[in-house]
Amino acid sequence: MDDAFSIDKGRVRRSFERAASTCDAAAALQREVGARALSRLELVRLSPAVVVDAGCGTGFATPALRARYPRALVVGIDIAAGMLRVARTRIPAWRRWTRSIRQGFVCADNGRLPLATGTVDMLWSNLAFQWSDDLGAVFSESLRVLRPGGLLTFTTLGPDTLKELRAACAGDGRVHVHRFTDMHDVGDLMVHAGFADPVMDMEYLTLTYPDARSLMHELKACGARNAASGRSRGLTGRKALQAIESGYEAFRQQGRLPATFEIIYGHAWKPLPRIGPGGRPVIDIKPR
């Protein structure tokens, strides 16, 4: 990946910290995609004891995961401590002081999970993996913490995401919109990490706005600020902002400006060990 498109993880953390109090009101896309991802779990035959919500944000999905798997320990993980403080408020106060609660939160990066190897039955993630520079490392960590037979299921963003905004910003030599990984490359990275039977599909969701500033304000409120290394380091000037707004007007339809999001859905399983004729696990030795 070009250096200009490398992701400043500190910037990501700070952006989501600042958006902790505004995220829920602006996260229509995240809620919709999360609901669709949760509905897909109806097709999965799994009774997990430990479920991880990786990149849980303010934790809007963790109650649904807890309701679907009432006997499971549900652990929400996010890079921003501020998001987790909001997530904890979703647990009823009377339950926070009892031992009956089966939920916890951990502040960490999805590429470096503070979890023991082979302790998770299902790792679920909604629109969080795109904030990693090294998606292969995220998949390797996911594979490590999953038990054999465990499930990774996630959503992320594809390359056509915010294509209108990218086109409106083109020409000034700076990065305004992140570069997102193609669905087929995402699948290849899962296979390379060691996952079995990956299933990938995608769909386009289009939100509309009265003007370009409304879209940019919503992205900021969600914490989805530009964290690319090639971004402008100062405030966007009036002329530059006006140029972006003017360029975006070319996409206006029926009085509204569209914003396209390419949603990628993926799931795969951690393989079970192969058993030989004597009942012992088969270990493949790769030649150097």
Q: How far is CA 133 from the centre of its chain?
A: 12
82-92 confidence digits (pLDDT tens): 999 999 988 76
What pLDDT, on the 0 to 100 scale, is given for residue 254?
Answer: 95
Q: How far apart are CA 135 and CA 143, in angstroms?
A: 12
Note the pLDDT tens digit of each residue in 17-64.
999 999 999 999 999 999 999 999 999 999 999 999 999 999 999 999
Contact assessment for residue 183 and residue 264, using Cβ atoms and an 8 Å cutoff: yes
**Residue 275 bridge partners (DSSP):** 281
Distant-in-sequence, close-in-space partners of 286: CB < 8 Å, separation ≥ 6: none
What is the phi/psi pair of residue 51, to 5°? -120, 135
Question: Taking the model in full, what pTM does it have?
Answer: 0.89
Stretch 218-234: mean pLDDT: 79
| Beta strands, E only, 7-159 | 50-54, 73-78, 103-107, 120-126, 146-157
CA-nearest of 99, 102, 106, 112 to 80 is 106
